[in-house]
Amino acid sequence: MKPVATIIVFAALAVSAFAGAQADTQKEPTTVTDQLYSEKLRPQFHFSAKAGWINDPNGLVYYKGTWHMFFQYNPLTPPAPFWGHAVSTDLVHWKQIEHAILPDAMGTIFSGSAVVDWKNTSGFKKGSEPPLVAFYTAAGGTSEESKGAPFTQCSAYSTDAGMTWTKYAKNPIIPNIKGANRDPKVVWYEPDKKWVMILFIDGDWFALFESKDTRSWTKLQDFQFPGHSECPDFFPMKVQGEPNVTKWVLTTAIGDYHIGTFDGRRFKSEEGPFTGDFGANYYAVQTFSDAPRERRIQVAWMRGAEYPDMPFTQQMNFPTEMTLKRFPEGLRICRQPVREISKLHDKEHRFTRKAITPGENLLAGISGGLLHIQAEIEPGQASAFGFKALGEAVTYSVKDHTLTCLGKTAAVEPEGGRIRLQILVDRTSIEVFANGGRAVMSSCFVPKTDSSQLECFAEGGAAKAVSLKAHTLKSAWR
């Protein structure tokens, strides 16, 4: 997490913070609109805060039917940022609740992660619930209260299923190593019955640490990820179709990743780095801890989006499910929208084996700013084909084997002579998933037109929609 250059000020929001082991006292933000979640540029199925600035997703964790998403939040005058908090039962409908972890004399609260401590290794358990433990960076020197303090790694815990949080009385758990070292991500390593943390150190350097109790940490390994920094994630994944093969994946802020092995002491990259997202707005990626059925769900901040005259700014991407697949050229991660998107499906328009003819629109009469498109297309005689929504085109070049959207391009090779696409459109964003999520493009924009007509087009000749489903979507806020 990088310090945010602009602080959005909302005087109506008051907040109190208590350091050390004191539980944080929170208040809900007061919004500056009478049309909450209905504003013209408000995303309708992507998370955004009621008011103010958000950036990195933090502390993503699942427990007892609830997905917890914490996030970097700047809704008020300094000190900020701190951890905001939203919950969901389905990854689609989110409710912003009281703030979770607030600034103190050690610093403002930068990015981090959270886990369910099933074995109570931390000793924080009270009553019947296992504790949830959060790990975050106390960003010393980023507020008047923390002037002169360094960046350190700290923890907090919850004994009521993640609803309230108490800072560990003996913070920090890792003292300053170098500069603005930050963004701890923690995972359980079952073979050695221990916790493993990956931490951004400085430049393009990262480090791994181990702990038996979440409190005392020992360094295992330093390594470089050239050209990358911040917000690392580290987790095991089974290879699809090979249940006895597990690899470890290391990602950094922009979602680029390495695939390799981890023996409890050292990570060894075997393949990579590979691009995780080809779009313009995808940053600070993190996956959920403790997701059911070994699902690996990733969320990112759609960094750099603009929302003129809105009471909020920035949004998260729509959650995606990751799979690790073997291709002739090696292992690769594929990402697709979580299947829960179907909860928002409204009207469905279905076509089978229909020609896509230049100058004609197969989808004439279909309109909307909230869309889920699923298509399998044979190029036929076309030189290009694609879709246009809210005035922006998703175009596949048959000659170049490239997919283009909002100024960004990704190489996409046909599979069996066809291109498969999923497209999510949500007022100010377009996310494109090609060939089962092998290539993904996540981008934001401000619509230049009021037209919501959906188009399916071909250029230079006819293509064929082997299958095409266009769903208009309901708002997740209603």
Task: Cite the active site residues.
Answer: 56
Phi-psi region of 214 (alpha: psi -120 to 50; beta: other; left: phi over 0): left
Q: Is 292 helix (H, G, I), strand (E, B) or coil?
A: helix
**Half-sphere exposure in the Cβ direction for 283 (13 Å, CA):** 20
CB 74 within 8 A of CB 373: no
Other CB atoms within 10 A of residue 28 CB: 11
Q: Which two tokens stand for residue 214?
A: 């979440």
CB count within 10 Å of CB 358 equals: 16
Q: Which two tokens stand for residue 218?
A: 């020992």
Q: Look up residue 47 and give its amino acid.
A: F
- Of 191, 194, 214, 190, the residue nearest 131 (C-alpha): 214
Q: How far apart are the C-alpha atoms of 257 and 254, rounded to whole Å?
A: 9
Give the C-alpha separation, 216 to 210, whole Å: 8
Closest CA to 333 of 428, 224, 449, 236: 236
- End-to-end C-alpha distance for the chain, whole angstroms: 32
Q: Closest by alpha carbon to 299, among 309, 284, 289, 310?
A: 284
Residue type, 17: A
CB 76, CB 94: distance < 8 Å: no
